[in-house]
């Protein structure tokens, strides 16, 4: 099995296979019985191919993992498991590893016979005859789907707000630094915009916190739909949000986009009892016009937002105003 027919992602670290030492005096028949027992009773999937990648045998655990019966797999290639998710350029790395070391270990997303994706740790090892010629390849598949899903969930919780699904402060900071570098390369401006939901305390007091959460989710959804692809709206906490607009040639572009965002938000949100008409106070600082340091830009935008709120809310205030 010189290359798994599923595309592979960069390999995980795995220990090299160990050699089984049989007790002195064991007959060939005893060894074969043991090998057969291990093959058929193993809890991990095992696939054996010839040097042309044709499957010559699989064990019951592999059939259970993939959803394919043994007879349906014999003579096929591991392409039958392909998820079509991974970069095909990685095949060359796998073949090179097998040619150089006789083994490869990594993680692969496969597709079950029923169409569902699953993740495996795949170990491939070459089998040699007495002349050190490769005769077969053995692939060992261990299901790691739940671990991968748990890792993805942890990563999402670290970068996204749980209530609204928007990026959180950490992810916003990362995107801000990327945007600053892009602005320097292209000679364009970017805008950091602090947003605060007007009269949110009154909404909570009058309708209750569950209704307040409904308002936050709906406002977040409307803002995300109103900005351009590539821009970012994040939730900082409570009723505070922040928007990053980049690739701006002039300040008026920023004003038009924020005005559209204000209009998108200022539509009634129905609640269990009555409805609310949300509005935003927005403060804006521009790079590199107002400051160069990210922390200073954030502070200037925050201060401008408070001036917007003090002036009555539902408006846009720039740092220099």
pLDDT at residue 5, rounded to an integer: 42
26: confidence class by pLDDT, cuts 50, 70, 90: low
- Domain end: 90, 121, 150, which one? 150
24: confidence class by pLDDT, cuts 50, 70, 90: low
My answer on whether 271 and 166 are in the same domain is: yes
Catalytic residue check, 7? no
Q: Which of 231, 239, 259, 295 is catalytic?
A: 239
Is 23 inside a domain boundary?
no
On the 0-12 / 13-18 / 19+ scale of CB atoms within 10 A, 294 is middle
DSSP state of 278: -
CA atoms within 13 A on the CB side of 139: 31
My answer on whether 38 and 103 are in the same domain is: yes
pLDDT surpasses 70 at 10? no
For 230-275, how does the pLDDT look when each residue is reduced to its tens digit (9 = 90+)?
A: 999 999 999 999 999 999 999 999 999 999 999 999 999 999 888 9
* Model pTM score: 0.60
- Residue 255 has φ and ψ, to the nearest 5°, of -65, -40
Peptide bond before residue 288 is cis, with ω within 30 degrees of 0: yes
- Residue 227 has φ and ψ, to the nearest 5°, of -85, 165
Q: Which domain holds residue 55?
A: 28-150
Number of domains in the chain: 2
pLDDT at residue 23, rounded to an integer: 58
My answer on whether 203 and 128 are in the same domain is: no
């Amino acid at each position: 099995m010189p290359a798994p027919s599923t595309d592979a992602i960069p390999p995980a670290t795995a220990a090299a296979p160990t050699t089984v030492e049989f007790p002195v005096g064991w007959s060939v028949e005893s060894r074969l019985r043991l090998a057969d027992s291990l093959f058929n009773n193993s809890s991990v999937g095992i696939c054996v191919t010839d040097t042309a990648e044709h499957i010559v045998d699989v064990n019951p655990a592999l059939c259970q993992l993939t959803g394919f019966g043994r007879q349906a797999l014999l003579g096929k290639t591991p392409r039958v498991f392909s998820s079509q998710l991974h970069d095909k350029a990685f095949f060359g790395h796998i073949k090179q590893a097998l040619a150089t070391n006789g083994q490869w270990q990594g993680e692969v997303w496969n597709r079950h016979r029923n169409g569902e994706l699953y993740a495996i740790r795949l170990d491939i090892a070459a089998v040699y005859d007495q002349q050190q010629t490769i005769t077969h390849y053995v692939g060992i598949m261990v299901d790691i789907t739940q671990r991968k899903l748990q890792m993805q969930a942890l990563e999402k919780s670290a970068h996204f707000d749980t209530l609204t699904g928007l990026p959180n402060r950490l992810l916003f900071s990362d995107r801000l630094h990327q945007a600053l570098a892009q602005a320097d390369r292209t000679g364009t401006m970017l805008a950091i915009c602090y947003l605060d939901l007007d009269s949110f305390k009154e909404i909570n007091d009058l309708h209750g916190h569950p209704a307040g959460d409904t308002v936050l989710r709906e406002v977040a959804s409307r803002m995300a739909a109103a900005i351009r692809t590539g821009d970012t709206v994040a939730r900082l906490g409570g009723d505070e949000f922040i928007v990053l607009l980049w690739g701006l040639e002039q300040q008026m572009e920023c004003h038009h986009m924020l005005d559209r965002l204000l209009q998108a938000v200022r539509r009634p949100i129905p609640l269990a009892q009555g409805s609310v008409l949300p509005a935003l106070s927005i403060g804006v600082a521009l790079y590199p016009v107002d400051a160069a340091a990210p922390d200073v830009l954030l502070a200037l935008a925050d201060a401008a937002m408070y001036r917007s709120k003090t002036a009555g809310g539902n408006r846009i205030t720039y740092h220099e105003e």
